[in-house]
Amino acid sequence: MVPFQVWIGVAALFPLLFPCSLAVSEVSCADVVPMKWRRDVISIADFGAVGDGKTLNTWPFKKAIYRIQHMRKRGGTMLYIPPGVWLTGSFSLTSHMTLFLGRGAIIKATQDTTNWPLVDPLPSYGRGRELPGKRYMSFIQGDSITDVIITGENGTIDGQDSSSNVCIEDAHISTGDDLVAIKSGWDEYGIAYGRPSSGITIRRLTGSSPFSGIAIGSETSGGVDNILAENINLYDTGFGIHIKTNVGRGGYIRNVTVMNVNMNKVRQGIRIAGDVGDHPDEYFNRYAVPTVDGVTIKNVWGLDIQQAGSIQGIRSSPFTRICLSNVKLWGAGARYESWRCMDVTGAALGVQPGPCSELANTVSAGFCSGAF
């Protein structure tokens, strides 16, 4: 796993709920990331943790994970979190473990960041995202780890981040930032690091955010492909679906499908843009122009949308094979604006209000037909 390739509600300290994904679904994460049962089970309570919402349990979490790492059990270990509010500072997961939150279990990030560890920037970022130099460690972090499962019986993680070849499903997220953001490195650092975010499934997600619901980018210098997001419910959100990159990023965004999306009270329904975000420093390569190819957005129903959507490609690298199919975004009164497009080719079938003329509205657009 590569930390930060997928950011789940990056503004920590907000609830991220994981209902038991094995119980429900027709299709589940288990198809994407194999679920495993661990024979070795330990409880955080055995390490002196107290689930009273007041005791700081950073040390018990570290001890428990140290035990998993160093007393390697065949088949890995499950760390069970019983019902209770388990306050803790940040900690790192290790390979071959399951973090299992029992019903009524809440892992809560301490608000006291004075002792929050600062760590080196990700190699794919070159510097801290918000500031030069170091960055705050993620609440629950994993660096080059494999075979890790976070699941449970609808427990809550108050603040979280993560990686590639991932599946996120049955989650309710509410954050001060994007609900789910898929990224893969920042300009020259991301290009040099060269690790794509690939094979990511996001399913049955509900939430609201002042920023974006489903976001890809803008830091996609390692490339992003084979993304499927489906059955998404968004309300009170800035941008419903936001795919963004910038000159200097290099890399690519391709084979992305977002489908079966409901939106309510969203500022802009769909935005795909090639001029978003800043640069880590002045050494980025102005000729590192990203490509965006093969983005399908289908079966979208939105009410109370201020602006339907905009697609703004890059002049020297127009976005190609952009497919909008069965997308209905209804506005709220006078503030409502229709689509805007530039430097893009593709098709739009069954889109209301009718999108820009750049997108063909005939079924002859093979890549977009059958998208219903």
Ligand X SMILES: *[C@@H]1O[C@H](CO)[C@@H](O)[C@H](O)[C@H]1NC(C)=O
Residues in touch with ligand X (CB under 6 A): 17, 19, 154, 226-228, 255, 257
Which DSSP string corresponds to 128-146?
-SSSSS-EEPPSEE-SS--
Q: How far is the CB of 200 from ligand X (least distance, A)?
A: 8
Q: How far is the CB of 90 from ligand X (least distance, A)?
A: 23
* Residue nearer to ligand X on the CB measure, 106 or 305: 106
Q: How far is the CB of 160 from ligand X (least distance, A)?
A: 15
Residue 176: which residues within 8 A CB-CB, separation 6 or more?
11, 14, 209, 210, 211
Sign of CA dihedral 60, 62, 64, 70: negative
Sign of CA dihedral 172, 140, 75, 196: positive
Which DSSP string corresponds to 31-92?
GTS-----SEEEEGGGGT---EEEEE-HHHHHHHHHHHHHS--TT-EEEEE-SEEEEE--EE
Q: Tell me the Cα Rg of the chain.
A: 21
Q: How far is the CB of 228 from ligand X (least distance, A)?
A: 3
Q: Which residues of 247-284 are buried (b: 16+ CB within 10 A; e: fewer)?
A: bbbbbbbbbbbbbbbbbbebebbbbbbbebbebbeeeb
Q: How far is the CB of 119 from ligand X (least distance, A)?
A: 31
Annotated active-site residue in 31, 112, 158, 177: 177
* Residue nearer to ligand X on the CB measure, 19 or 248: 19
* Residue nearer to ligand X on the CB measure, 19 or 126: 19
Q: How far is the CB of 297 from ligand X (least distance, A)?
A: 13
The count of other CB atoms within 10 Å of the CB of residue 294 is 20
Q: How far is the CB of 257 from ligand X (least distance, A)?
A: 6
How far CA 25 is from CA of 21, 28, 156, 203, 206, in Å, comes to 7, 6, 20, 10, 16
* Residue nearer to ligand X on the CB measure, 19 or 331: 19
* Residue nearer to ligand X on the CB measure, 68 or 105: 105
* Residue nearer to ligand X on the CB measure, 158 or 358: 158
353: preceding bond cis by omega (within 30 degrees) = yes
Residue 21: in which H helix or E strand, if any?
Answer: helix 21-24
How far CA 354 is from CA of 65, 258, 264, 319, in Å, comes to 54, 19, 19, 19
How far CA 123 is from CA of 9, 108, 132, 166, in Å, comes to 21, 28, 13, 20
Helix-, strand-, coil-residue percentages of the chain, each rounded to 5: 10, 50, 40
- Annotation says 187 is catalytic: no
* Residue nearer to ligand X on the CB measure, 188 or 225: 225
Token reading at 23 = 């119980």
- The catalytic residues are 177
